């Protein structure tokens, strides 16, 4: 673990490549407060960036090669910008993100320069806190900085999303890349994923904290199930369109309309649609609650979101449910829910300042009793999105 970033990263860069780093960038992971599985339905999300980032230090090379070293994995990987290919070597798999976004930028007509690169991340990998999105966003910022291009951050998010879709093969929405690129310190972003308009809403400066807890359960099913949910939502739109010809996504369906036509949907599709439609409403209500300082209501909406994700959307798992139950049992917890795609990964809880210690003491023991697993707890403030530091 590097103790002081970015100085130590720059020192490592100089040790490895025998010259100083000209560019240093950072892009954060994220936690979604509410609005889950709504982004690929043109809906609303409310994430914030977290105080854990992927960092990259780099200097240009004139031979069109990218020579990268990952401090997390202690591995190097080299590729040419002329023929970018995915590596099949498991120990270099992390470099596929550097390859993927470089390939997309080139397809978009950005002339890239070769680079020496050192990467280091404090976003836990595979924990549902968007380590891959932050890797892509950081790399995109690094490549464009190296050729003196100031990339628009929304464009950076969209290109990173494309890289994730083409590289990982999961048809992800825009939330993770967007918040990693555009997050605002001490705010969460209320994002309309259809228009990409967004509003930075201040989080309470005191009184309450965001606490993330990791189930430490490896997320197995997530990719295939994610794509399944997506097509179930598309099926719902197709059927509802018979009654509501102007709709193009579940975003366009009100709760009243849904109730009127729900009978026409197959049972499972009906549940999926009910989650998405009710979740969009919960996001809107939670923003109003937050703006009026009603943290208790915000917490209740988080709780309702979890129940809906568990019962209707079926993306929770016994470990997430156990962690949520343990968290809610602590006095001073306003609300707790799974965050991200589901099937493992993390929960997010809103916890009164005075209850954070109790949370840290009680939740691990309760979770262990229920599952035999250990949880990892992270408290975080909302962090700024991607930035070039040097």
Enzyme catalytic residues: 176
Is residue 212 close enough to count as binding ligand GLA by CB under 6 A?
A: no
Is residue 175 close enough to count as binding ligand GLA by CB under 6 A?
A: yes
In 3D space, the residue among 50, 144, 117 whose CA is nearest the CA of residue 377 turns out to be 50
Distance in Å, CB of 42 to ligand GLA, minimum: 12
Is residue 43 close enough to count as binding ligand GLA by CB under 6 A?
A: no
Q: Of 6 and 29, which has the nearer Cβ to ligand GLA? A: 29
Is residue 29 close enough to count as binding ligand GLA by CB under 6 A?
A: no
Distance of CA 128 to the CA centre of its chain: 7
Residue numbers 93-152 binding ligand GLA by CB under 6 A: none
Residue numbers 312-351 binding ligand GLA by CB under 6 A: 340-341
Q: Kindly give the residue spans of alpha helices, DSSP state H, lying in the chain.
A: 7-17, 95-107, 131-146, 153-168, 175-182, 222-240, 255-261, 267-291, 295-311, 318-328, 356-371
Contacts of 238 (CB under 8 A, 6+ apart): none
Strands 44-61 and 23-34: antiparallel
Q: Of 39 and 252, which has the nearer Cβ to ligand GLA? A: 39
Is residue 306 close enough to count as binding ligand GLA by CB under 6 A?
A: no
Is residue 173 close enough to count as binding ligand GLA by CB under 6 A?
A: yes
Distance in Å, CB of 176 to ligand GLA, minimum: 4
Contacts of 268 (CB under 8 A, 6+ apart): 232
Residue numbers 233-272 binding ligand GLA by CB under 6 A: none
DSSP label of 383:
B
Distance in Å, CB of 349 to ligand GLA, minimum: 17
Q: Of 81 and 222, which has the nearer Cβ to ligand GLA? A: 222
How many residues of this chain interact with ligand GLA, rule: CB under 6 A?
Answer: 10
In 3D space, the residue among 239, 187, 378 whose CA is nearest the CA of residue 250 turns out to be 239
Is residue 279 close enough to count as binding ligand GLA by CB under 6 A?
A: no
Task: State which of residues 10, 36, 92, 214 lies at the interface with ligand GLA (CB under 6 A).
Answer: 36
Q: What percent of the residues of the chain are helix, what percent strand, and what percent coil, each to the nearest 5? A: 45, 25, 30
Phi, psi of 28 (to 5 degrees): -85, 160
Whole-number Å distance between alpha carbons of 182 and 116:
26
The residue number with the shortest CB distance to ligand GLA is: 173
Per CB under 6 A, residues contacting ligand GLA are: 36-37, 39-40, 172-173, 175-176, 340-341
């Amino acid at each position: 673990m590097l103790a002081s970033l970015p100085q130590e990263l720059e020192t490592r860069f100089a040790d490895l490549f025998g010259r100083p780093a000209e560019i240093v960038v950072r892009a954060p992971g994220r936690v979604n407060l509410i609005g889950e599985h709504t982004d690929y339905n043109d809906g609303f999300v409310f994430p914030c960036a977290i105080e854990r980032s992927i960092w990259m230090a780099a200097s240009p090379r004139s031979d069109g090669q990218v020579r990268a070293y990952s401090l997390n994995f202690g591995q190097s990987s080299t590729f040419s910008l002329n023929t970018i290919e995915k590596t099949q070597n498991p120990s270099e798999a992390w470099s596929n993100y550097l390859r993927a976004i470089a390939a997309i930028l080139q397809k978009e007509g950005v002339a890239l320069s070769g680079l020496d690169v050192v990467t280091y991340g404090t976003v836990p990998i595979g924990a549902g806190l968007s380590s891959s999105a932050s890797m892509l966003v950081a790399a995109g910022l690094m490549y464009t900085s190296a050729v003196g291009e100031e990339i628009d951050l929304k464009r950076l998010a969209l290109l990173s999303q494309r890289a994730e879709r083409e590289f990982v093969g999961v048809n992800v929405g825009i939330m993770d890349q967007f918040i990693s690129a555009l997050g605002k310190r001490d705010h969460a972003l209320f994002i309309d994923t259809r228009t990409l308009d967004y509003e930075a809403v201040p989080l309470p400066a005191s009184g309450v904290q965001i606490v993330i807890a990791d189930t430490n359960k490896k997320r197995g099913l997530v990719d295939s199930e994610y794509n399944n949910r997506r097509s179930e939502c598309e099926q719902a739109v197709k059927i509802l369109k018979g009654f509501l010809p102007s709709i193009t996504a579940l975003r366009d369906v009100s709760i009243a309309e849904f109730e009127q036509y729900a009978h026409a949907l197959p049972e499972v599709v009906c549940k999926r649609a009910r989650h998405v439609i009710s979740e969009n409403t919960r996001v809107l209500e939670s923003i109003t609650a937050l703006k009026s300082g009603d943290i208790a209501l915000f917490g209740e909406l988080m709780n309702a979101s979890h129940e809906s994700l568990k019962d209707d959307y079926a993306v929770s798992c016994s470990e997430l449910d156990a962690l949520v139950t343990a968290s809610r049992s602590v006095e001073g917890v306003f609300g707790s829910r799974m965050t991200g795609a589901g099937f493992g990964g993390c929960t997010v809880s809103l916890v009164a300042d005075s209850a954070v210690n109790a949370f840290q003491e009680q939740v691990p023991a309760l979770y262990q009793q229920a599952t035999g697993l250990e949880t990892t707890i992270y408290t975080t403030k909302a962090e700024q999105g991607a930035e070039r530091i040097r």
